Amino acid sequence: MMNEENVKTLIGLVSQYSPSGQERGAVEYLVARMKSLGYNDAFIDDAGNAVGVMGKGAKQIVFLGHIDTVPGEIPVRVDGDILYGRGSADAKGPLASFTDAVAKVGAVDGWQFVVIGAVEEERDSEGARFVVGQYKPDFAIIGEPNQWDRVALGYKGSAWANITITRGQAHTASGEETAAEAAVEAWLKIKAYADAFNSDKPKAFDKLLITLRGMESDSNDFEQVATLKVGVRLPVTVSPQDWYKILNETLKVSETFRVLVEPIGFALPAWGCEKNTPLVRAFLSGIRAQGGEPKFVYKTGTADLNIVAPVWKCPALVYGPGDSALDHTPNEHIKLDDYQKAVDVLSAALEKLTS
């Protein structure tokens, strides 16, 4: 039978609807909850993140989860072993499990645990971009749902670009290629490059995954213009800068057409975590102690890992209960038994890591 006290943090956090930009209520709830659980300090930082600190030691472990969700409120309810609600999987389940596990372990001599509920992850990760300069942890654990018995060691990078093709106006009877037709050819060139790059790579994590997210064209008395919005999920071997260079070289300017590749938004490099670390070994041990058979996963999306790991340069991994297939869906939910197992895994991992 479920012990309601064991899932109080989770249910309370999920009950605070907090789409990106509207996280304040959830942040205030989590800070208050951390204080009630005995954290040495709990506060709202200058970016609006919820932060809880346990212990005062010189060695530091940062638990970075995100407290925002995508829009779309789902009535919060418990049905047997299942909690329904927006964010129950992505990613309040992982964040709440961090909060409860650190409270369960308590302060450890020589160590400081910092739990962060970051804002804006579902948009531009403003919360993570702020904390990356505030901490220098010895170990970092990022919260995303990947099932309680799995550890994620890699997330792909991403980069977006607007590709604008311009040419002088021509008579419709001239038979000359239009800017819109040239844009189609440009997309086919990009796709051909990606197909060739991917041909000897069986794993999605190692591939260039491109998407054409928009296309429009226009003209005036003197010019024709066509624009493509192209996105890519990047492997570790291709940086965002590499990708923009590839686009410029693949779409070389001709005498007739002018091509402008314009990066948009925040590009993120892919990141793969080291597997043979004390951090990973502690989690494998914790999963086995709960009767699980641990597995490693590499994700095709991005996470705050991509922002902090290249700067902190410490052993890191991504962990959290919940099924990522339910992220952003109208049926988002989490199994409470899986949540409690995750808390126990985290607690055991912490105790092993700090012993």
Encode pLDDT of 225-253 as tens digits.
Answer: 999 999 999 999 999 999 999 999 999 86
- Judgement on whether residues 120 and 233 belong to the same structural domain of the protein: no
Select from 237, 268, 299 the last residue of a domain: 268
Are 316 and 154 a contacting pair, CB within 8 Å? Answer: no
Are 251 and 162 a contacting pair, CB within 8 Å? Answer: no
The residues carrying an active-site annotation are 68, 121
- Judgement on whether residues 137 and 172 belong to the same structural domain of the protein: no
- Judgement on whether residues 205 and 259 belong to the same structural domain of the protein: yes
- Judgement on whether residues 253 and 149 belong to the same structural domain of the protein: no
Q: What CATH number does residue 318 fall under? A: 3.40.630.10
Q: DSSP label at 322?
A: S
- Name the nearest CA neighbour of 288 among 243, 344, 242, 210: 344
Cα separations in angstroms, 67 against 13, 15, 127, 178: 9, 12, 10, 47
Name the pLDDT band for 173 (thresholds 50, 70, 90): low
- Name the nearest CA neighbour of 52 among 126, 124, 125, 131: 131
- Judgement on whether residues 103 and 193 belong to the same structural domain of the protein: no
- Judgement on whether residues 33 and 134 belong to the same structural domain of the protein: yes
| 196: preceding bond cis by omega (within 30 degrees) | no
Range of the domain at 253: 157-268
Q: What is the pLDDT of residue 62?
A: 98
HSE at residue 259, side-chain half, CA atoms within 13 A, is: 22
Q: What is the pLDDT of residue 174?
A: 60
- Judgement on whether residues 123 and 166 belong to the same structural domain of the protein: no
| Residue type present at position 120 | E
Q: Model confidence over 95-127: pLDDT tens digits?
A: 999 999 999 999 999 999 999 999 999 999 999
- Judgement on whether residues 80 and 172 belong to the same structural domain of the protein: no
Q: What CATH number does residue 162 fall under? A: 3.30.70.360
- Name the nearest CA neighbour of 19 among 69, 57, 86: 69
Rg (CA), the chain: 23
Rounded to two decimals, what is the model's pTM?
0.91
Give the C-alpha separation, 72 to 120, whole Å: 15
Q: What is the pLDDT of residue 1?
A: 47
Which H/E stretch holds residue 184? Answer: helix 179-198
Select from 226, 251, 268 the last residue of a domain: 268
Question: How high does pLDDT run on average in the chain?
Answer: 95
- Judgement on whether residues 8 and 148 belong to the same structural domain of the protein: yes
The total number of structural domains in the chain stands at 2
Give the C-alpha separation, 313 to 137, whole Å: 9
- Judgement on whether residues 12 and 60 belong to the same structural domain of the protein: yes
Select from 232, 247, 268 the last residue of a domain: 268
Are 313 and 67 a contacting pair, CB within 8 Å? Answer: no
Q: Which residues contact 95 (CB under 8 A, 6 or more apart)?
A: 13, 30, 65, 66, 67, 115, 117, 143, 320
Q: DSSP label at 37?
A: T
**Where does residue 110 fall: left (phi above 0), alpha (psi -120 to 50 degrees), or beta otherwise?**
left
Q: Model confidence over 129-156: pLDDT tens digits?
A: 999 999 999 999 999 999 999 999 999 9
- Judgement on whether residues 275 and 133 belong to the same structural domain of the protein: yes
Average pLDDT of 77-92?
Answer: 96
Give the C-alpha separation, 235 to 243, whole Å: 10
- Judgement on whether residues 30 and 63 belong to the same structural domain of the protein: yes
